[in-house]
């Protein structure tokens, strides 16, 4: 177990190293002349030289890379000239909005997927199963930003059931005192029911747009796993002992079907991260995703660069964690010799 852990950790670190090299080359070495961009088109040769030295672009590439990684690890992620502050502070002020949205999207997607997958496989309900298959097929082909637009057209413009693209609260509402940064939690802590219901209303459409693709993915996976598990011999044994169908389904089939789903959490995280970039902009959501899109348009690459490397670290970190969790939950996978699939 320890050697397996050590090997996995070394692998994860090597991957992050490779990823950092890729992002260094793509965003530091390749894109044009950042000096011109910062100093402006009218800057003198002397001023350019100054900026170059300040940025460290005159140094050899390996030194630049070392400084880049050193800066990243110590929390110096550069300066965002569009937001007018250090990237790390800008991220810190926006992470709660993104986290709250992603969390909501995930909870909606997971709950819906679980219920629908159980109903679809329980006694092989044909109608629900057909519905699940159609919706998951379309779900995987839906561009999130387009879905966001459709939801706004239908539920805001036409039916006026939910607020439009106006951020996390109505403009006239005062935000509750910041404790966690999650408005739903903070407003409850402050006992502000008006802010709470507004925060929920503002969350629903963005969360639906962001959660739809993970939902489609999860429901498909759960359905397939549930079907596969329900055909296992031990299920027949449980049934022949006289345990009811529903109890067998939820108590014996479901926990086993969950394990492969856990492996997909990396993919779901990736989906939520990229999704936030595509969805937040549509809803004027003050999160990191919208910031990244604005930074791309204004060529403020310090932001984009940090986002990309952070994403890789988070993504690799989560799949490492999942591997470890897998060993804890299912002892059969602990010993690499008996590892299955």
Partner 1 sequence: MSAQTTIIKRTARPRITFEGVTAALRFILLDPTLLIAFLLMVLLVGLALLGPLLWGIDPLKLDFGAVFAAPSPQHPMGTDSLGRDIFARFYSGAQISLTVGVVAVVFGAVLGGAVGLIAGMSGGWVDVLLMRTMDAILAFPPLVLAMAITIGLGAGIETAAIAIIVTTIPWYARLVRSDVLRVRSMPFIEAAVAIGMARWPMIRRHVVPHIMPTLLIQAAASFGYAILALAALGFVGLGAQIPTPEWGAMITEGLSDALTGRWWVGVFPGVGILLAVTAANLFADRARDLLDIRAE
Q: Between the CA of residue 234 and those of 38, 152, 220, 238, 332, what are the distances in Å?
A: 66, 48, 23, 6, 17
Nearer to partner 1, 61 or 140 (CB): 140
Question: Could you tell me the smallest distance in angstroms from the CB atom of residue 304 to partner 1?
Answer: 6
Question: Could you tell me the smallest distance in angstroms from the CB atom of residue 321 to partner 1?
Answer: 14
What value does the CA radius of gyration of the chain take, rounded to a whole number of Å?
A: 24
> Quick one: the chain helix, strand, coil %, rounded to 5?
75, 0, 25
Asked if 31 interacts with partner 1 (CB under 8 A), we say: yes
Asked if 22 interacts with partner 1 (CB under 8 A), we say: yes
The 3-state DSSP class for residue 79 equals strand
Question: Could you tell me the smallest distance in angstroms from the CB atom of residue 188 to partner 1?
Answer: 31
Nearest to 287 by CA among 93, 19, 23: 93
Nearer to partner 1, 23 or 261 (CB): 23
Find the binding residues for partner 1 in span 258-317 (CB under 8 A). Answer: 270-271, 273-274, 277-278, 281-282, 293, 296-297, 301, 304, 307-308, 311-312, 315-316
Under rule CB under 8 A, how many of the chain's residues touch partner 1? 53
User: Which three-class secondary structure string do you get for 293-317?
Assistant: HHHHHCCCHHHHHHHHHHHHHHHHH
Asked if 322 interacts with partner 1 (CB under 8 A), we say: no
Nearer to partner 1, 102 or 277 (CB): 277
Nearer to partner 1, 207 or 304 (CB): 304
Two structure tokens written together for 37: 């961009």
User: Which three-class secondary structure string do you get for 171-194?
Assistant: CCCCCCCCCCCCHHHHHHHCCCHH
Measured CA to CA, the distance from residue 170 to residue 5 in angstroms comes to: 48
Do 207 and 99 form a contact (C-beta atoms < 8 A)?
Answer: no
Asked if 16 interacts with partner 1 (CB under 8 A), we say: yes
Nearer to partner 1, 12 or 55 (CB): 12
Asked if 95 interacts with partner 1 (CB under 8 A), we say: no
Measured CA to CA, the distance from residue 114 to residue 87 in angstroms comes to: 38
Give the interface segment with partner 1, choosing from 14-22, 54-62, 169-177, 244-252 (CB under 8 A). 14-22
What backbone phi and psi angles, to 5 degrees, belong to 175?
-70, 145
Asked if 166 interacts with partner 1 (CB under 8 A), we say: no
Nearer to partner 1, 104 or 307 (CB): 307
* DSSP one-letter string for 237-270: HHHHTT--HHHHIIIIIHHHHHHHHHHTHHHHHH
Asked if 165 interacts with partner 1 (CB under 8 A), we say: yes
DSSP 232: S
Nearest to 257 by CA among 125, 114, 94, 82: 114
Contact string 114-153 vs partner 1 (x = CB under 8 A): -----------------------xx-xxxx-xxx-xx-xx
Nearer to partner 1, 216 or 254 (CB): 216
Nearer to partner 1, 85 or 165 (CB): 165
Measured CA to CA, the distance from residue 39 to residue 36 in angstroms comes to: 5
Asked if 157 interacts with partner 1 (CB under 8 A), we say: yes
Measured CA to CA, the distance from residue 161 to residue 180 in angstroms comes to: 28
Nearer to partner 1, 104 or 217 (CB): 217
Which residues sit at the interface with partner 1, rule CB under 8 A?
11, 14-19, 21-23, 25-27, 29-32, 137-138, 140-143, 145-147, 149-150, 152-153, 156-157, 164-165, 270-271, 273-274, 277-278, 281-282, 293, 296-297, 301, 304, 307-308, 311-312, 315-316
């Amino acid at each position: 177990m320890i050697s397996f852990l050590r090997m996995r950790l070394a692998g994860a670190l090597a991957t992050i190293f490779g990823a950092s090299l890729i992002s260094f080359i793509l965003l530091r070495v390749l894109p044009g002349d950042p000096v011109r961009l910062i100093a402006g088109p009218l800057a003198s040769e002397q001023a350019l030289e100054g900026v170059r030295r300040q940025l460290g672009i005159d140094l050899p590439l390996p030194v630049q890379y070392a400084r880049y990684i050193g800066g990243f690890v110590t929390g110096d992620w550069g300066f965002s000239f569009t937001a007018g502050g250090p990237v790390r502070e800008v991220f810190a002020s926006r992470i709660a909005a993104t986290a709250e949205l992603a969390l909501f999207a995930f909870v909606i997607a997971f709950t819906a997927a679980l219920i629908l997958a159980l109903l679809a496989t329980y006694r092989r309900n044909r109608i629900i199963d057909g519905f699940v298959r159609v919706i998951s097929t379309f779900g995987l082909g839906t561009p999130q930003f387009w879905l966001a637009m459709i939801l706004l057209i239908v539920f805001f413009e036409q039916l006026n059931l939910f607020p439009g693209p106006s951020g996390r609260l109505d403009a006239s509402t005062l935000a509750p005192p910041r404790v966690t940064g999650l408005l739903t939690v903070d407003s409850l802590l402050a006992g502000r029911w008006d802010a709470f219901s507004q925060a929920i209303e503002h969350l629903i459409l963005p969360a639906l747009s962001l959660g739809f693709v993970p939902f489609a993915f999860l429901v498909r996976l759960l359905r397939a796993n549930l079907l596969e598990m329900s055909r296992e011999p031990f299920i027949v044994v449980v049934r022949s002992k006289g345990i009811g169908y529903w109890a067998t389904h939820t108590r014996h089939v479901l926990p086993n079907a969950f394990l492969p789903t856990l492996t997909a959490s990396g993919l779901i995280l990736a989906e939520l991260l990229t999704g936030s970039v595509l969805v937040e902009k549509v809803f004027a959501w003050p999160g990191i995703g919208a910031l990244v899109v604005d930074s791309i348009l204004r060529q403020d690459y310090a932001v984009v660069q940090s986002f990309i490397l952070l994403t890789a670290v988070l993504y690799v970190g989560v799949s490492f964690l999942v591997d470890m969790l897998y060993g804890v939950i299912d002892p059969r996978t602990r010993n690499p010799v008996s590892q299955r699939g």
